[in-house]
Amino acid sequence: MPCDLLDLSREELAVWLAARGLPAWRAAQVLRWVYARGVTDFEAMTDLSRELRVLLAEHFRIAPPMIRERLVAMDGTEKFLFGLEDGETIEGVLLPERGHFTLCVSSQAGCAQGCRFCLTGRGGLRRNLRPAEIVGQVLAVRRAMAEPERLTNLVFMGMGEPLANLEPLLQALSLLTDAEIGMGFAARRITVSTAGLVPQMIAFGRASRVSLAVSLNAADDATRSRLMPINRLWPLGELLAACRRYPLPPGRRLTFEYILLRDVNDSPADARRLCRLLAPLRCKVNLIPFNPHPGCAFARPAEEKILAFQKVLLEARYTAIIRRSKGEDILAACGQLRGRRAPAAN
């Protein structure tokens, strides 16, 4: 089967063209058709010579994931079920914001982290996604939108642990932020979330200028290890040391995500421990009230406890935002994604 063109970086395509006696600048010309205009048929790339179109068609295909199912929540959030070529499926979520849209992107089929509050991890990791399958989610959703220009923000908070699939993730981010080929997402408008893979964090920070969010969810090792098995491998001391070394771009802050679970990590004492833990860091905190899903024993705290937790952080002069969930009625909120096999499209 021909190679998927979406798996190639601009530099790799330029090298491939140069090896065949073609100028390197043709790479950007070809990729603009794909990423700026959404064209997947080489024959439609009309400003390329006939010979080049035939050559490309002989060696490459363009196959973004197919949208198998599209659900719309009462609040306007949309969940997409993408079918991959091997029969695997992944999910992504399009979030309506004030004046723009944010797409929540998956980086793996399934997840190996096993966080106890997350539906995605229950089925384990099935496989990593290729760059084509990561970037292809953005292309597929943008093509399905009535106003694709309003898709300005991306968050890698869908299925999987992004930093466990580091090289394909970095290649996808390079394509997504490349203005010359027509994607041109601003690095400040892309956020990658991690459960705390310490060895990969610094490498990621050196290789990319997008924002990083660390899923923390507890301020002591006993609680965090109970919620997130990764903490047994890299406990809070090592994780926070990596956060202190993280190469933040000027004017940027780390984001810490904290899922509030009733009677587990939601007390004022927990909030005070969190303040002490984060004290040396330039950061902000996203508080995420737990999103229930079938078969999970956790519950969302009462509203007054959520506000009391936030108040402790605000009084300590942290930026602490309560992130209200969207799409709960279609299981599209944080921690609720879980791809499944779907019938092939007709």
Query: What does the pLDDT profile of the chain (346 residues) look like in tens digits?
Result: 789 999 999 999 999 999 999 999 999 999 999 999 999 999 999 999 999 999 999 999 999 999 999 999 999 999 999 999 999 999 999 999 999 999 999 999 999 999 999 888 888 999 999 999 999 999 999 999 999 999 999 999 999 999 999 999 999 999 999 999 989 999 999 999 999 999 999 999 999 999 999 999 999 999 999 999 999 999 999 999 999 999 998 889 999 999 999 999 999 999 999 999 999 899 999 999 998 877 788 999 999 999 999 999 999 999 999 998 777 776 665 665 665 544 444 3
Predicted local confidence at residue 123, as pLDDT: 81
Q: By the 8 A CB rule, do 189 and 151 touch?
A: no
Q: By the 8 A CB rule, do 62 and 4 touch?
A: yes
- CA-to-CA distance for 127 and 202, rounded, in angstroms? 24
Nearest CA to 212 out of 243, 184, 235 is that of: 243
Predicted local confidence at residue 343, as pLDDT: 43
Residue identified by tokens 């927990």 is 270
CATH value of 3-61 in 1.10.10.10, 1.10.620.20, 1.10.150.530, 3.40.50.720 = 1.10.150.530
| DSSP 8-class letter at 129 | P
Specify whether 104 is catalytic.
Answer: no
Q: What is the maximum span of the chain, computed from C-alpha positions, in angstroms?
A: 69
User: What are the residues whose beta carbons fall under 8 Å from the beta carbon of 199, sequence distance 6 or more?
Assistant: none
Cα 201–Cα 205–Cα 206 angle in degrees, nearest 5: 120
Predicted local confidence at residue 276, as pLDDT: 97
CATH 1.10.150.530 maps onto the chain at 3-61
- CA-to-CA distance for 295 and 292, rounded, in angstroms? 9
The active-site residue, picked from 78, 88, 91, 161, is 91
- CA-to-CA distance for 252 and 105, rounded, in angstroms? 22
Q: Identify the three-state secondary structure at position 317.
A: coil
Q: Which CATH class is domain 66-330?
A: alpha beta
The active-site residue, picked from 111, 243, 283, 334, is 334
Q: For the packed helices 303-315 and 268-278, what is the interaxial angle rounded to 10 degrees? A: 30
Predicted local confidence at residue 293, as pLDDT: 78
Specify whether 133 is catalytic.
Answer: no
| DSSP 8-class letter at 65 | P
CATH 3.20.20.70 maps onto the chain at 66-330
Q: For the packed helices 198-207 and 236-245, what is the interaxial angle rounded to 10 degrees? A: 10
Predicted local confidence at residue 332, as pLDDT: 60
